[in-house]
Structure 1
Amino acid sequence: IMIAGALFVICYTFIGGFLAESASDFMQGIIMFVSLSVVLIAGISKAGGISAIIENAKQIPGFLEFFGIARPALQDGVQQVSEGRALFGEAGSYSFLTVVSTMSWGLGYFGMPQVLLKFMAIRKSGELTLSRRIATIWCAVSLTAAVAIGIIGRVLYPTALLTQSTSENIFIVLSTEFFFPLLAGIVMAGILAATISSSDSYLLIAASAFSKNIYHGIMKKDAGDKTILLITRITLIAIAAFAMIIALDENSVIFTVVSFAWAGFGATFGPIMLFSLFWKRVTRSGAIAGMLAGGSMVFVWKLLIKPMGGIFGIYELLPAFIASCIAIVAVSLLSGEPSREILDEFERAKAYEE
């Protein structure tokens, strides 16, 4: 299934490019919305209503507490079960540092290529307001529904979520339990839609960045359009093959991989995107320094500093984002001012927005 899905993504991205990727993302968004809604409504009904779900969830120490956290009783990474019930220890507590660290996930959105690319490709600035509203509503609905489905799954099928990796299958469990096979397959297509909508964007962006910025911009500046297109397609296939090799690891946890990638993109591109929009003093050197500082700090913090624990156990996106901001400001101020052409373009964009 994984190989078939990967080949499907490669084919339509290879042939259709950005237009095909955008059209497919629209359809996949509809599928995801319908799938989340159907499973959420069915789950609420199956569990006996929202009040019943909340009451059952409250029986788990710390599960629905704002500053609390449930602690499963684990043995060798597997939650223990007694008399058909998953066991939990005493509730833990979220420190202020943990709350801030968790909230820093929101910073990642500023650097997500699949999000930024859609806004950058908009036809006219007048459509930005509507696009922003649609994006905000979609995020609110999808994230709320996803969290609610997780809570419903914990209430209805507690023994099906005994390890971190199996807990990621809750959407599949609910779909197969609630619906007959054909409808369950259609609903679970939402998972494939979510995967495809991100993977095609990453493939297209990475391939275009290499062919345009590295191959054409540095290696061979006189390359023609056909050559650049060929390099783009070759790069696309190579990246897809590498991604499939990584995905073959059955012991990997999706959340861990996604969180690391989210931090990398967010800290590398997020700060420079914000500074470029709101501070005209940003220079080319500052932008490069910010991206290098943010991207490298994600690896340094994740692999070297975070294992130390304590106050260093925060999500790597936050310190990397801060490091990138500092680098952008410091290097931009130390280097010469941007050219008059860049400053005038910034002022024109600002005046047009107003």
Structure 2
Amino acid sequence: MTANTPMLITFVVYIAAMVLIGLFAYLRTNNLSDYILGGRSLGSFVTALSAGASDMSGWLLMGLPGAVYMSGLSESWIAIGLIVGAYLNWLFVAGRLRVQTEHNGNALTLPDYFTNRFEDHSRVLRIFSAVVILVFFTIYCASGVVAGARLFESTFGMSYQTALWAGAAATIAYTFVGGFLAVSWTDTVQASLMIFALILTPIVVMLATGGIDPTFAAIELNDATNFDMLKGASFVGVISLMGWGLGYFGQPHILARFMAADSVKSIPAARRISMTWMILCLGGAVAVGFFGIAYFAAHPEVGGAVGENPERVFIELAKILFNPWVAGVLLSAILAAVMSTLSCQLLVCSSALTEDFYKSFLRKNASQLELVWVGRAMVLLVALVSIWLASNPENRVLGLVSYAWAGFGAAFGPVVLISLVWKNMTRNGALAGMLVGALTVIVWKQFGWLGLYEIIPGFIFASISILVFSLLGKAPSAAMLKRFAEAEQEYQEAHNGVQGAPAVS
């Protein structure tokens, strides 16, 4: 038995379990609503952990610990921004989106919601928003495939091309077969695995370096500025990192979890669970990178791989400090982070192609069974395109992940947020917001003005455009106002007596 055998067995068992969950979900999938939104049947716990796991990709266990290992606590501003953004998303968007999508034609996708909310008979909102989803998410999916391939490549010594298919195959399998329920149930398992890895690993690293005081002393001895939250940071730099939190309001794969909750009454409990999970995971990821500074300073002879690539700090600590079987479980957490995000992105792309193009423009009277199988075919199609994009790991398209986060955040975020809290928003306002948000991100990215992350001006200009074009154009119809009022009333009644339910006029 080689050193890698326990890790290989652990990976195989883990992947087999995910596929079995997919097969079980297959038995519960009877129509397109089941396949795309799980029949709106998710309870608080699954909604919470699925939203968290779909959000946090391999970046949580590789990128963030690597950045902190290299630069210290100054890299943790992005984690603070994400926590604030996620909390506000749960507070202002989650419950309202759940009821508004149901009142507006039982919408299954964001383009579907925009079309019904604003009575867009031209369907231009549906087309534009679906195209944005397909373009950006295919890029996102490709980055997830690369992350999975890199994990298999470094752990088992596979060639990149073999690792590419090995990493993607399991995710494609359970998403293809089980749809939204499979993705959500596996997300729950994967979120549990991620939090286990991110709580256990920093504790063991700290014990290996002698406890809290010796660990902090070693970090300070290595470089005292590691403790400085403002090390090398400008005001614009900190604001840019915090600005990542704005992206939450417009991420279709996260918003889909809110839409799929079994009831608006489940949202407050889900918010508490999800935020607790998120804070512990982000804190653990920062601690892995931070404590790793002390460990590898004391043991430079085993730090070669981390010196070449700091993003391997979690992988190397798991391999060095744990029994191979436990290391296999911990490294499966990276695979879990990659698979949970990739699977829901594949499903959102499939939903856009099936619900917003195929059903809306090609086969309006298609049976539910036909639509489910078209959805499965679209999962396969998007996955194959993503694998093709990922086949060249140096392809510049994979550098667009932060660009895509900004694109979604600016194009959809203000539209979603304002549509849920302002009854007088119109179709022209929504279209203007999407266009201005997307164009601002594209232009700002090219010129890099002020060194400011492009999501911030994109979000601001999109919000202004929504307000201006909604006030200048034709007022909303009586039917639009009635639907908005009924949904808002249902939301407020559900939250009657629940602290933290902000009202709108």
Q: Which residue of 1 aligns with 2:48?
A: none
Residue identity matched to 1:263:
A
Shift of 1:256: 4.8
SS at match of 2:375: helix
CA distance in 1, matches of 2:418, 2:194: 33
Q: How many Å separate the matches in 1 of 2:424 and 2:467?
A: 9
1:280, distance to aligned residue in structure 2 (A) = 1.2
**How far, CA to CA, are the matches of 1:251 and 1:162 in structure 2?**
21
Q: Is the 8 A contact 2:186 2:340 kept in 1?
A: yes
Q: What per-residue deviation string (whole Å, max 9, x for no partner) do you get for residues 324-346 of structure 1? A: 21222222222222222221222
Amino acid corresponding to residue 36 of structure 1 in structure 2? L
Q: Which amino acid aligns with 2:484?
A: F
Provide Cα deviations, 1:60-98, integer angstroms capped at 9, x if missing partner: 253221221xxxxxxxxxxxxxxxxxxxxxxxx311111
Query: Which deviates further from its counterpart, 51-60 or 114-123?
Result: 51-60
Task: Show the counterpart of 2:172.
Answer: 10
| Among candidates 362, 383, 386, match of residue 243 of structure 1 | 386
Quick one: distance in 2 between partners of 1:244 and 1:47?
41
Q: Contact 2:353 / 2:378 at 8 angstroms: preserved in 1?
A: yes
TM-score between the two structures when normalised by the length of structure 2: 0.60
What per-residue deviation string (whole Å, max 9, x for no partner) do you get for residues 97-125 of structure 1? 11111110111122222321111111111
Q: Give the 3-state SS of the residue equivalent to 1:168 in structure 2.
A: helix
Pairing 1:243-282 to 2, within 5 Å after superposition: 243-251=386-394, 256-282=399-425
The equivalent position to 1:63 in structure 2, one of 226, 248, 263, is: 226
Of residues 21-30 and 40-49 in structure 1, the stretch that sits farther from structure 2 once superposed is 40-49
Superposed CA deviations along residues 244-289 of structure 1, whole A, max 9, x for unmatched, are 2333344479995542232222222221121122111112232232
Q: How does 1:122-271 map to 2 (within 5 A)?
A: 122-157=261-296, 159=303, 160-162=305-307, 166-251=309-394, 256-271=399-414
Post-superposition CA distance 1:202-253 (Å, at most 9, x none): 1111110121112222344344434433332222112112222333344479
Pair 292,61 (structure 1): closer, same or farther in 2 beyond 3 Å: farther
1:320 corresponding residue in structure 2: 458
Letter in 2 for 1:26: T
CA distance in 2, matches of 1:348, 1:280: 11
Question: Whole-Å Cα distance in 1 between the matches of residues 200 and 393 of structure 2?
Answer: 29
Out of 232, 235, 256, the residue aligned to residue 117 of structure 1 is: 256
Deviates further, 46-55 or 4-13? 46-55
Asked if residue 349 in structure 1 is aligned to residue 491 in structure 2, the reply is no
Aligned pairs, how many? Answer: 323
The residue that corresponds to 2:214 in the other structure is: 52
After TM superposition, the structure 1 stretch with the greater mean CA deviation from structure 2, 208-217 or 243-252, is 243-252
Find the counterpart in structure 2 of residue 298 from structure 1: 441
Paired residue secondary structure (1:338): coil
1:262-319 Cα deviation digits (max 9, x unpaired):
22222222211211221111122322322232233323222x111xx6x1x2112212
Find the aligned partners of 2:326 and 2:183 in 1 and give their Cα distance.
26
Q: Indicate the larger mover: 129-138 or 337-346.
A: 337-346
3-state secondary structure, aligned to 1:62: helix
Name the SS of the counterpart of 2:225 in structure 1.
Answer: coil
SS for the counterpart of 1:139 is helix
Q: 2: CA distance between counterparts of 1:42 and 1:305? A: 45
**1:96 aligned residue:** 235
Deviates more, 1:222-231 or 1:177-186: 222-231
Aligned-partner SS, 1:183: helix
**Residue 181 (structure 2) aligns with:** 19
Q: Could you say which structure has the higher helix fraction?
A: 2
Q: Which runs of 5+ in 1 are unaligned?
A: 69-92
Q: 2:390, 2:291 → 1: CA distance?
A: 28
Retained in 2: the 8 A contact 1:113–1:201? no
Task: After superposing the two structures, state which structure 1 stretch, 184-193 or 257-266, moved more.
Answer: 257-266
Identify the structure with bigger relative contact order (alpha carbons < 8 Å, sequence gap 6+): 2
Change over 3 Å in CA distance of 1:220–1:346 after alignment to 2: same
State the partner residue of 1:89.
Answer: none
8 Å CA contact retained: 1:154, 1:161: no
Structure 1 residue 26: Cα displacement: 0.7
Identity fraction in percent: 37
C-alpha spacing 1:246/1:178, structure 2 compared with 1 (3 Å): farther
Q: TM-score, normalised by structure 1?
A: 0.84
Counterpart of 1:172 in 2: which secondary structure? helix
The residue identity in structure 2 corresponding to 1:48 is: G
Q: Does 1:30 align with 2:180?
A: no
Give the direction of change, closer, same or farther, for the CA distance of 1:252–1:135 in structure 2 (3 Å limit): farther
| C-alpha distance in structure 1 between counterparts of 2:463 and 2:235, whole Å | 23
In 2, Cα distance between equivalents of 1:253 and 1:210: 25
SS at match of 1:281: coil
Alignment CA distance shift 1:2-1:153 (3 Å): farther
The 1:235–1:289 alpha-carbon spacing in structure 2 relative to 1, beyond 3 Å, is: farther
The answer to whether the Cα contact below 8 Å between 2:172 and 2:383 also exists between their aligned partners in 1 is yes
Which is worse superposed, 31-40 or 249-258?
249-258
CA distance in 2, matches of 1:162, 1:141: 27
Residue-by-residue CA offset, 1:115-170 (whole Å, 9 max, x unaligned): 2111111111111110111111111111111111111223322654445xx22221
CA RMSD of aligned residues (A): 2.3
- Find runs of 4+ consecutive structure 1 residues off by over 6 angstroms: 252-255
Shift of 1:39: 1.0
Residue 3 of structure 1, CA deviation:
1.4
SS where residue 157 of structure 1 aligns?
A: helix
Find out whether 1:331 has 2:469 as its counterpart.
yes
